[in-house]
Amino acid sequence: MIQVHDLHRHFGGFRAVDGASLTIETGSITGLIGPNGAGKSTLFNVIAGVLPPTSGRVVMDGEDISGLAPHELFHKGLLRTFQLAHEFSSMTVRENLMMVPGAQAGETLLNTWLRRGRIREEERALRKKADEVLEFLTISHVADEKAGNLSGGQKKLLELGRTMMVDAKIVFLDEVGAGVNRTLLGTIGDAIVRLNKERGYTFCVIEHDMDFIGRLCDPVIVMAQGKVLAQGSADSIMQNEAVIEAYLGT
Ligand code: ADP
Ligand code: MG
């Protein structure tokens, strides 16, 4: 689905991503691991259009998508989750979900005005979809809760839920497990697996928790110092000498 060819992203003279090449297969849950500072988040940001590459190419289903803006990638079904924006924290969980397609439609005042007769109907459909998403993620009980009051793990589920309000094909998750308790991390893992199996989502997941990576991800790609160091099953990665050295060396 995604091919990254010799990608570079430099900051001044510093090579955060230094010639990374990798493939994300359609239908996979691909893990991306590596020591802090390896360039994982920068790689995600370049693939998702948040940062332009210094050089190199990103190809999605045969089409060169290098340097496209996030909203263009969003329309192609390539999504990167973000922490909930501060201004959404006073809205309810359901409202947060209902906001997603509107943002995608690129609505102008004019077309809102032209379509106002249909808005009630559309709102009902959106509400129904939001409730289905919450049920899928097993967080229906917080639908009317303010998003700002959710626990860290519930916020992660809501971020995942936002991708379900549109037709995502591939979702990039950066450190899903950070600050999330064990139980909710399990729930998030289950949601990822079900989205993969039942909805055909492809995932690329950055996570430090190797139990989580080992349970979910195949293959696992290891980055160090801006380059891809190894790729394979979680088990083979853990026994790879270069990988062990990269972790011990930092
Ligand atoms: P990881 O996610 O693997 O921990 P990052 O991609 O966040 O690594 O960072 C890789 C390196 O690039 C780090 O040394 C970081 O300090 C540097 N870096 C990241 N973003 C910037 C930036 N905007 N300006 C300068 N250096 C950056
Ligand atoms: Mg990072």
Q: Summarize pLDDT for 161-214 with one digit per residue, the tens.
A: 988 888 789 999 998 888 888 888 998 999 999 999 998 999 999 999 999 999
How many angstroms does the Cα of residue 179 sit away from the middle of ligand 2? 14
- The interface pTM score, or ipTM, of the predicted complex is 0.98
Using CA atoms, how far residue 222 sits from 20, 39, 205, in Å, is: 11, 11, 12
Q: Is 20 exposed, middle or buried (0-12, 13-18, 19+ CB in 10 A)?
A: buried
Q: Which residues of the chain have pLDDT under 70?
A: 82-87, 101-119, 250
Distance CA 145, CA 211 (A): 31
Question: What number of other Cβ atoms are within 10 A of residue 13's Cβ?
Answer: 5
| Residue 74, pLDDT score | 87
Distance CA 167, CA 201 (A): 9
Compute the residue count for the chain: 250
- Residue 226 Cβ contacting ligand 1 at under 6 Å: no
Q: Summarize pLDDT for 74-86 with one digit per residue, the tens.
A: 889 999 886 666 6
Which ligand 1 atom is the nearest neighbour of the CA of 51? 23
Residue 108 · residue 116 · CB < 8 Å: no
- Residue 9 Cβ contacting ligand 1 at under 6 Å: no
User: Which domains, from first to last, does the chain contain?
Assistant: 1-77+167-250 (3.40.50.300), 86-166 (no CATH)
Our mutation pick for probing the ligand 1 site, out of 42, 54, 206, counting the most ligand atoms within 8 A of Cβ, is 42
How many angstroms does the Cα of residue 42 sit away from the middle of ligand 2? 7
